[in-house]
Amino acid sequence: MRCRQIKPLISQWVDRTLPSSRAAGVAQHLAECSECATFHREMEGVVRLLRADPARQAPADFTAKVLRRVAAEEIPASPRWRERLGITPRRVVFGSLAAVLAFTALICLRPRPPIGPEAQSFVEECMADYELYASVRPAGETTSFLTGGHISKFGE
């Protein structure tokens, strides 16, 4: 087993609540890993100290005293995270608007590659073919030029 798998189990090991199916793996790892063994000893020391200290009872009026002191003190409310960061609704709106405008400017103003002579001649050839076809096709027939497929008019 690995350290990150063992460390959560050490507390159960110390309290003797770890299932026996896992206890053997933990014991073996603690024997091999000095870091986890040190962590185990520290946990046992803390548990030993807590068990040695007799349980103490709070005075009967302890809760009432604490509540009176809390009510008497004015505890400032902690600002919300938006306020701490200075985020206001107005800043959100203007920030969003600025982001949209910047994105639009990037899209609209991006440099476009010039059309080369091959592309220009291809476009001109396609336009000539389309004009030729448009002049000889039967009246009322609509055709998709790029695919060459027949497209009926809507409703036919």
Tokens of 137: 């096709």
DSSP string, 59-79: PTTHHHHHHHHHHHS-PPPPP
Ranges of each domain in the chain: 3-52, 117-151
Q: What is the dihedral of CA 72, 74, 80, 84, to 10 degrees?
A: -150
Helix or strand run (H / E) with residue 142 = strand 142-143
pLDDT tens digits, one per residue of 35-91 = 989 988 998 888 888 777 777 777 888 889 988 888 887 766 666 766 777 778 888
Q: Is the pTM of this model over 0.85?
A: no
CA 21 to chain centre: 37
Residue 120 has a CB neighbour count (10 Å cut-off) of: 11
Q: What is the per-residue pLDDT for 118?
A: 73
pLDDT in tens, 77-132: 666 766 777 778 888 888 899 999 998 888 887 776 666 777 777 778 878 877 77
